[in-house]
Amino acid sequence: MDQIKVFAPATVANVGCGFDILGLALNSVGDELTVRKTETPGLTISSIHGAEYLPKEPEKNVATVAVQALIDALEWELDFGLDFELTKKVAPGSGLGSSASSSAAAVFAVNSLLDEPFEKKELVQFAMMGEKAASGVAHADNVAPSILGGFTLVRSYSPLDVIKLDYPKELYVTVVHPQIEVKTSDSKKILRKDIPLHDAITQWGNVGGLVAGLAKGDYDLIGRSLVDVVAEPVRSMLIPYFNEAKEAALNSGALGCSISGSGPSIFALTTNFEQAEEVAKAFSDLYREHSIDAIVYVSSVNPVGAEVIS
């Protein structure tokens, strides 16, 4: 095999209460990546569609940084090179794990091209190096679901321990991405370094509730647990009409609604496609009313994560 084309989904990190640890994969949106073996050893990026301003230098682009981490871990002398053609469907700065999709797609593609020296779960650690290049911190809450699919829990970073959570099949995600940019680094800065123990207890009560609700298929419990008292109260201030959007989603039957990752995208969970579409309409109407461009996605939860297209 000299060439492979893969897809890695966009993701919703945090999922309400699970700041820095929970994430889910979307079905309908993500990055496509073609990797080709070339004659000259080394990594090259020949094209980036959809976000042409991203760096093509292999030591700066998250995709090739992640792949380099994988190759370094292998300790193989590759007698060929690898060229990357990236098609981005989710804009950087959306809060939908844009950089994570690229890193995930890249390590998954190269691992496949090299006849899978690593298991899928092991790829998370390499994709995290892409995240480090993007934001300065090696987060896993987007790369884990982008690679593995479904809902993932990063139980621990040291050592890395990523868990695939059980969840009910009838679960839909509606996402609205208001067209303003919030940088992850800015969105991290406004969080407090210490939090009241009382708030922390509330948060881990909800994490326990969400994981239990997903495992039991208890939709009401899932909804009650989609509460974030740590990041949402601060970050929502950076998102125009967040409170109105959340209210509109809940009024349209969403189980719960919160910020996707560090925003500005907002996600809502529903139990069926029709309701997910209703929430989408509510989001669209709200931002149209306020003359803010917004892209809306409706998706089931992606059960497989990164996959080979051809």
Query: Shortest approach of a second copy to residue 237 CB, angstroms?
Result: 18
Q: How far is CA 139 from CA 59, 62, 73, 119, 268, in A?
A: 19, 13, 19, 19, 23
155 binds a second copy (CB under 8 A): yes
Query: Shortest approach of a second copy to residue 58 CB, angstroms?
Result: 32
64 binds a second copy (CB under 8 A): no
The structure tokens 């469907």 sit at 89
Q: CA 256 to CA 222: how far, in whole Å? A: 8
Fill in the per-residue mask, 2 to 41: x = in contact with a second copy (CB under 8 A), - = not in contact: ---------------xxxxxx-------------------
Compare residues 114 and 160 and give the one whose CB is closer to a second copy: 160
- Sheet containing strand 256-259, edge to edge, reads 256-259, 266-270, 172-178, 294-300
Q: Which of 51, 78, 91, 215 binds a second copy (CB under 8 A)?
A: 215
Q: Which of 154, 255, 268, 280 binds a second copy (CB under 8 A)?
A: 154
205 binds a second copy (CB under 8 A): yes
250 binds a second copy (CB under 8 A): no
- Determine the distance from the C-alpha atom of residue 128 to the mean position of all C-alpha atoms in its chain, rounded to a whole number: 12
Structure tokens at 267: 């996600």
Q: Is 131 a catalytic residue?
A: yes
Query: Shortest approach of a second copy to residue 153 CB, angstroms?
Result: 5
Name every residue whose Cβ is closer than 8 Å to that of residue 239 and which is 6 or more positions away in sequence: 178, 180, 182, 245, 259, 263, 264, 266
- 3 state SS for 98-158: HHHHHHHHHHHHHHHHCCCCCCHHHHHHHHHHHHHHHHCCCCCCCHHHHHHCCEEEEEEEC
185 binds a second copy (CB under 8 A): no
Q: CA 78 to CA 308: how far, in whole Å? A: 22
Q: Is 184 a catalytic residue?
A: yes
Compare residues 216 and 288 and give the one whose CB is closer to a second copy: 216
CB atoms within 10 A of CB 28: 14
192 binds a second copy (CB under 8 A): yes
Query: Shortest approach of a second copy to residue 159 CB, angstroms?
Result: 9
Residue of 32, 131, 232, 278 with catalytic role: 131
Question: Where does this chain bind a second copy (CB under 8 A)?
Answer: 17-22, 153-156, 161, 163, 165-166, 191-197, 200-212, 215-216, 221, 224-225, 230
Which residues carry out catalysis? 131, 184
